[in-house]
Amino acid sequence: MKDKRKICIITSTRADFGLLYPLLQEIELDTDLALQLIVTGMHLSPEFGLTYKEIEKEFEIAHKIEILLSSDTNIGVAKAMGLAQISFAETLANLKPDVLVVLGDRYEIFSVAATAMILKIPIAHISGGELTLGAIDDSIRHSITKMSHIHFVSTNEYKNRVEQLGEKPEHIFNFGEAGLDNIKKLNLLSKKEFEKSIDFKLNKKNLLITYHPTTLEQLDKTKKDFEQIIKHLDILKDTNLIFTKSNSDEGGRMINEMILNYVNAHTEKAILFSSLGQLRYLSALQYVDAVVGNTSSGIVEAPSFKIGTINIGNRQKGRIQAQNVINTVPSKLNEAFDKLYSTEFKQKLKTVKNPYYKTGNASFKTKEILKNINLKNIINKTFIDK
């Protein structure tokens, strides 16, 4: 009997789990594949909602790997990376996956990829070739690309960039953003169901807000910028604010504390979640006017719902953007909101196309590549099989 190909997938945040969710389902349903799911990072932190508990309701977790999230300073992040690498070395050596799948550009994912590279485990990287010029993630992402052997990108421009980095064209696949499959596959909540699920009534206008530290900027600038953002949000009329927490990057706790203080003082119009989860988050996109902040969701997912995105600062600078995105800085947020609610912009949103959506079923196509690609000698990128 043929051995099942073991596909090991790493998830460390609510964001990457949401994007990986349809691929995880595809792998689990395939009788020729064995899913090895490793959960780490913010999923295991009480501060960020212990989201691993939601994951294990649907998938068997092969291993949980705790890393230091007690500090969001640059030294704390560096220590967490070191601890992650030690723990992943032991875990991957035990699991012996045939392929390791990683997504994106977070620091803990860099540690995983570096470990797998040394252990000679083929790496499949999702979302390579992208640019985020305002964040250290940019350097991490390209480094992971060079450590990887199979590449799943979301646009032709990103495919070309991975080729420019020297990767083999025959190992680069563009099926669009796999996470967008969730929009069609999930039975999204009605407005009434959504309000009940968050115990919060929507208003005439509603905004979904996620703001992460811009990791190439100083913390004092991040603090001043977010203070300005809060002031602009506070003066909006007939508007309810749904905040989701910042991540565990340097400065994330500072932002979360500022959000919590604001929400506690304005419970009639603001609410905060550590994590909405994929179903509630995508359901929310049906009923809000815009995603506000600097999260990639405003770039990748919001266009599919034909809603606006107010993208603040440089964190997402360099990403391909649809016409729903309004780029601004904290001091000019009032102008951005004027544009968001203008008749001209609302009309434009009706015809917005998502550049990250290709032909659908991206998760199935990705699974098929992981299942059937020839892994013999794949880790030797200079090998020519004659």
Across the chain, mean pLDDT equals: 92
Question: Do 290 and 367 sit in the same domain of this protein?
Answer: no
pLDDT category, 215, cuts 50, 70, 90?
low
Q: Is 124 exposed, middle or buried (CB count within 10 Å of its CB: 0-12, 13-18, 19+)? A: buried
Task: Based on the fold, state whether residues 171 and 318 are members of the same structural domain.
Answer: no
Type of residue at 73: T
Query: pLDDT-derived band of residue 178, with 50, 70 and 90 as boundaries?
Result: confident
Whether 164 and 216 share a structural domain? no
Helix (H), strand (E) at residue 114? helix 107-118
Q: For residue 363, which amino acid is it?
A: S
Number of domains in the chain: 2
Q: Are residues 203 and 340 in the same domain?
A: yes
DSSP 62-78: EEEE----S--SHHHHH
Residues 216 and 122 in one domain: no
Residue 184 counted as domain residue = no
In a domain, 380, yes or no: no
Residue 97: give its domain's CATH number: 3.40.50.2000
Pair 100, 153 in one domain: yes
pLDDT band with cut points at 50, 70 and 90 for residue 71: low
Give the H/E segment covering residue 229. helix 219-234
Statement to judge: residues 103 and 30 lie in one domain: yes
Q: Report yes or no on 109 lying in a domain.
A: yes
Whether residues 48 and 150 share a domain: the answer is yes
For residues 116 and 234, membership in a common domain is answered with no
Question: Which residues form the domain of 199?
Answer: 189-349
> Does the CA dihedral 255-256-260-263 come out positive or negative?
positive
User: Angle formed by the axes of helices 252-265 and 219-234, to 10°?
Assistant: 20
* pLDDT at residue 69, as a whole number: 66
> Does residue 344 lie in a domain region?
yes
Query: Tokens in use for 283?
Result: 């359901």
Percentage above 90 pLDDT, the chain: 73
Q: Is 124 within a domain? A: yes
Do 254 and 274 lie in one domain? The reply is yes
Q: Tell how far CA 138 is from the center of its chain.
A: 14
Query: Is 377 a member of any domain?
Result: no
Closest to 315 (Cα-Cα) out of 331, 302, 298 = 298
Start-to-end C-alpha separation, the chain: 29
Out of 18-32, 36-50, 115-129, pick the least confident.
Answer: 36-50
- In angstroms, the Cα distances linking 4 to 26, 59, 93, 149, 365 are 15, 18, 18, 20, 18
**Domain for residue 200, yes or no?**
yes
- Tell me whether residue 383 is in a domain: no
- Per the CB < 8 A criterion, the answer to whether 253 and 72 are in contact is yes
Same domain, 156 and 211: no
pLDDT of residue 385: 47
pLDDT at 384: 46
